[in-house]
């Protein structure tokens, strides 16, 4: 079975090499097909591995070579496909494949077509390494790799200055998290002498609990960076500078969930770390609320979805924080379906609108973009949590786990966030697809449905968004929770009581009623009364704070960026130039003699000196040979 791992990894790497080296000379379709196929091969491998594990097979291990060996540190380049890895693999390669297909249509006019596919393949390779690595260092390798691909793809249209800054911001904010993760890895080496998952987890009980708490917190710092949680979340909305398929693949479905994977992977540690779990819970909860409220006031179609992603990731961390690891993974899965769908849908809209992303200049698109409209609607219903679509089951489960695992406060905040989510999503939906068209005449004339390479992935993802909930039906409907059963052997879930049927029925009924009200109200506000949002500068009061994203960027600029720049100048102009050089100059005067010597050399005949030097040395060598 090990060879399936090798093929799954090697295939996109080969795709990357082919697209990168020869893509320039190949027709666009060929490059696109090779790149997509390479991911499809990985997908097939994932299915084989999935089957193997599902039928009760053991986790598959693939050892290659010893990567780094120095003193007590020995790192093997080895891979492990257990149920958690394979679960992630399925999402990465499955959704990844669909997005590759979609990109063939979306990027067709771009001159950097082959480069785009090379990067995408490289991303899939890195992401697979991340989830398949058999120890924390290999995971870190993938972790940095996806960060790099994210950087390259956000800045894909590099001629635009702003995009370049967005790419850099993403890389640097991720690196802040990476430092935490790296220190966590050092601690692991320190405590266990290795970072190999199997060894580390089996001896987790031997370490003292304060150390484990610290390791968990450090690992979580890494997760905060990668999964865009407060305080390191501001890069993700800016990352929307990248082409839309990238937003769907990297910044919604896969890479940003790496933080959830990391915590779930370390569930043995986290489940026994009360402080760390509380931090995870609080950070997740605050992020979920804050990002959702910002989402209410955004006018860029992709930014709304970006804040929504941040908020949903917060949800997942809440689940991790209460110890419901398989629930978090379940939501990762459904979210991958409907958020990828929504992003690709928005891509289709942007494609039709000739690059326009502001929903204030859209409207009424449902008439021209029938497939996009219908699939987008399904995605909206799924994320809003309308039963029986996928989002309902995974969200509902998080709410239940939060209620039974923590308490009423967390439950209420999550429920409120759910309501806000539904509001901004339907606001987005109605402003985009209903009412009068508010763009230019030229755009109106140009409106068209996207080609089938783009719509087919939309349809498949829409189907998955509808039925994806089947992976984890609540006990009200079924006694068999597939995700939980499959994953529970590799995740150490906390013991949280099952929700009572009464609780589930109440939640179901209340959410259906609330959603119906929200849909009717947003429809009447945005479609019937034709209210169009104002720009951020015209907002007043709290709306303005929301439009300005709680001024996070401005605060960071004042508190971090400016002082560092000041310090840079101070260090260079004062400490270096005035202080240290001052001392040097004083001592310099003492050695004027040497200065005279040097000056003579400068003006003298260099050739002579050179010759003298070389001859002298050789003469010495010869003399002592003779002596």
Q: Which stretch binds other proteins (CB under 8 A): 226-234, 437-445, 526-534, 612-620?
A: 612-620
**516 lies in the site for other proteins, by CB under 8 A:** no
**605 lies in the site for other proteins, by CB under 8 A:** no
| 315 within 8 A of 417, measured Cβ to Cβ | yes
- Find the binding residues for other proteins in span 167-226 (CB under 8 A): 167-168, 171-172, 175-176, 178-179, 182-183, 186, 189-190
CB of 449 to other proteins, least distance (A): 33
Nearer to other proteins, 106 or 140 (CB): 140
Eight-class DSSP state of 70: E
In the block, tokens 């905060």 appear at 224
Tell me the HSE value of 96 on the side-chain side, using a 13 A CA sphere.
Answer: 33
Nearer to other proteins, 57 or 616 (CB): 616
Nearer to other proteins, 412 or 560 (CB): 560
Nearer to other proteins, 467 or 612 (CB): 612
Eight-class DSSP state of 133: B
Q: Which of 442, 479, 541, 621 binds other proteins (CB under 8 A)?
A: 621
Q: Which of 12, 59, 131, 144 binds other proteins (CB under 8 A)?
A: 144
| 319 within 8 A of 285, measured Cβ to Cβ | no
**64 lies in the site for other proteins, by CB under 8 A:** no
| 83 within 8 A of 52, measured Cβ to Cβ | no
DSSP characters over 475-506: TTT-S--HHHHHHTTTS-----PPPPHHHHHH
DSSP characters over 228-285: T-TTS-THHHHGGGS-HHHHHIIIIISGGGHHHHHHHHTHHHHTT-HHHHHHHHHHHH
CB of 310 to other proteins, least distance (A): 21
Strands (E), 332-384: none
CA–CA distance, 239 with 229 (Å, rounded to integer):
14
CB of 591 to other proteins, least distance (A): 6
**530 lies in the site for other proteins, by CB under 8 A:** no
Q: Which of 68, 467, 559, 560 binds other proteins (CB under 8 A)?
A: 68
**509 lies in the site for other proteins, by CB under 8 A:** no
- Find the binding residues for other proteins in span 339-368 (CB under 8 A): none
CA–CA distance, 280 with 472 (Å, rounded to integer):
23
CA–CA distance, 226 with 229 (Å, rounded to integer):
8
Paired strand residues for 69: 74
CB of 122 to other proteins, least distance (A): 11
Nearer to other proteins, 170 or 290 (CB): 170
Coil, strand or helix at 160: coil
CB of 139 to other proteins, least distance (A): 10
In the block, tokens 């003399």 appear at 623
Q: Which of 25, 55, 70, 208 binds other proteins (CB under 8 A)?
A: 70
Eight-class DSSP state of 80: E
CB of 614 to other proteins, least distance (A): 5
Q: Which of 3, 29, 51, 69 binds other proteins (CB under 8 A)?
A: 69
Q: Which of 56, 71, 355, 541 binds other proteins (CB under 8 A)?
A: 71
**586 lies in the site for other proteins, by CB under 8 A:** no
- Find the binding residues for other proteins in span 552-581 (CB under 8 A): 564-565, 567-569, 571-572, 575-576, 580-581
- Find the binding residues for other proteins in span 1-20 (CB under 8 A): none
CB of 79 to other proteins, least distance (A): 15
**608 lies in the site for other proteins, by CB under 8 A:** no
- Find the binding residues for other proteins in span 279-338 (CB under 8 A): none
CA–CA distance, 402 with 410 (Å, rounded to integer):
6
**426 lies in the site for other proteins, by CB under 8 A:** no
Q: Which stretch binds other proteins (CB under 8 A): 51-59, 166-174, 260-268, 415-423?
A: 166-174
Nearer to other proteins, 206 or 602 (CB): 602
Q: Which of 225, 140, 143 is nearest to 177 (CA)?
A: 225
DSSP characters over 94-125: HHHHHHHHHHHHHTTT-TTHHHHHHHHHHHHH
Q: Which stretch binds other proteins (CB under 8 A): 27-35, 154-162, 299-307, 313-321?
A: 154-162
CB of 28 to other proteins, least distance (A): 17
CB of 145 to other proteins, least distance (A): 7
**148 lies in the site for other proteins, by CB under 8 A:** yes
- Find the binding residues for other proteins in span 108-137 (CB under 8 A): 137
**396 lies in the site for other proteins, by CB under 8 A:** no
Q: Which of 529, 281, 496 is nearest to 401 (CA)?
A: 496
Nearer to other proteins, 409 or 594 (CB): 594
Q: Radius of gyration over alpha carbons of the chain, in Å?
A: 28
Report residue 208 as tokens: 């003292």
Nearer to other proteins, 145 or 314 (CB): 145
Coil, strand or helix at 66: strand
Q: What are phi and psi of 551, to 5 degrees?
A: 60, 30
Coil, strand or helix at 419: helix
Alpha helices in 434-487 (DSSP H): 441-446, 452-467, 482-487
CB of 224 to other proteins, least distance (A): 14
Paired strand residues for 63: 78
**506 lies in the site for other proteins, by CB under 8 A:** no
**90 lies in the site for other proteins, by CB under 8 A:** no
């Amino acid at each position: 079975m090990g060879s399936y791992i090798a093929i799954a990894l090697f295939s996109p790497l080969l795709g990357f090499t082919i697209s990168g080296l020869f893509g320039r000379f190949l027709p666009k379709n060929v490059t696109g097909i090779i790149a997509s196929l390479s991911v499809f091969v990985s997908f097939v491998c994932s299915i084989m591995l999935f089957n193997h594990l599902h039928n009760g097979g053991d986790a598959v291990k693939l050892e290659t070579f010893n990567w780094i060996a120095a003193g007590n540190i020995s790192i093997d380049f080895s891979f492990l496909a257990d149920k958690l890895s394979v679960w992630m693999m399925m999402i990465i390669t499955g959704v990844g494949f669909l997005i590759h297909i979609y990109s063939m249509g979306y990027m067709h006019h771009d001159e950097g077509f082959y480069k785009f596919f090379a990067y995408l393949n490289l991303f899939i390779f890195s992401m697979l390494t991340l989830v398949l690595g058999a120890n924390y260092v290999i995971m870190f390798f993938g972790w940095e790799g996806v960060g790099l691909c994210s950087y390259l793809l956000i800045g894909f249209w590099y001629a635009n200055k702003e995009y370049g800054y967005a790419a850099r911001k993403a890389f640097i904010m991720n690196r802040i998290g990476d430092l935490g993760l790296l220190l966590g890895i050092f601690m692991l080496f320190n405590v266990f002498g290795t970072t190999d998952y199997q060894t580390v987890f089996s001896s987790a009980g031997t370490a003292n609990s304060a150390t484990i708490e610290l390791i968990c917190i450090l690992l979580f710092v890494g997760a905060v960076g990668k999964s865009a949680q407060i305080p390191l979340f501001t890069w993700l909305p800016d990352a929307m500078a990248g082409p839309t398929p990238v937003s769907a693949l990297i910044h919604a479905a896969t890479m940003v969930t790496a933080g959830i994977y990391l915590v779930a992977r370390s569930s043995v540690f986290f489940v026994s770390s009360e402080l760390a779990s509380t931090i995870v819970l609080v950070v997740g909860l605050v992020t979920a609320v804050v990002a959702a409220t910002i989402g209410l006031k955004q006018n860029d179609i992709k930014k709304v979805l970006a804040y929504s992603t941040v908020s949903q990731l917060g949800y997942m961390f809440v689940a991790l924080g209460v110890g419901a690891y398989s629930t978090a993974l379940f939501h990762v899965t459904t979210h991958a379906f409907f958020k990828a769908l929504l992003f690709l849908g928005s891509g289709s809209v942007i494609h039709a609108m000739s690059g326009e992303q502001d929903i204030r200049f859209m409207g009424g698109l449902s008439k021209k973009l029938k497939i996009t409209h219908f699939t987008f609607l399904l995605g909206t219903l799924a994320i809003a949590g309308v039963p029986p679509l996928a989002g309902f089951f995974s969200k509902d489960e998080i709410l239940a786990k939060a209620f039974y695992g923590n308490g009423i406060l967390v439950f209420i905040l999550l429920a409120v966030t759910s309501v806000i989510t539904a509001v901004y999503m339907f606001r987005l939906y109605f402003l985009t697809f209903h009412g009068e068209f508010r763009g230019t005449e030229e755009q109106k004339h140009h409106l068209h449905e996207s080609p089938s390479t783009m719509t087919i992935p939309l349809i498949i993802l829409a189907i998955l968004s509808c039925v994806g909930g089947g992976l984890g039906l609540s006990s009200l409907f079924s006694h068999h929770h597939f995700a939980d059963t499959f994953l529970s052997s590799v995740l150490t879930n906390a013991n949280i009581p099952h929700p009572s049927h009464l609780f589930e029925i109440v939640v179901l009924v209340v959410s259906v009623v609330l959603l119906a009200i929200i849909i009717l109200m947003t429809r009447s506000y945005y479609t019937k009364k034709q209210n169009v949002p104002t720009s951020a500068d015209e907002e007043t009061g709290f709306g303005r704070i929301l439009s300005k994203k709680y001024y996070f960027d401005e605060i960071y600029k004042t508190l971090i960026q400016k002082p560092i720049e000041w310090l840079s100048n101070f260090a260079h102009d004062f400490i270096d130039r005035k202080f240290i050089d001052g001392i040097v100059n004083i001592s310099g005067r003492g050695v004027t003699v040497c200065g005279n010597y040097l000056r003579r050399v400068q003006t003298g005949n260099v050739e002579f000196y050179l010759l003298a030097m070389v001859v002298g040395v050789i003469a010495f060598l010869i003399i002592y040979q003779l002596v």
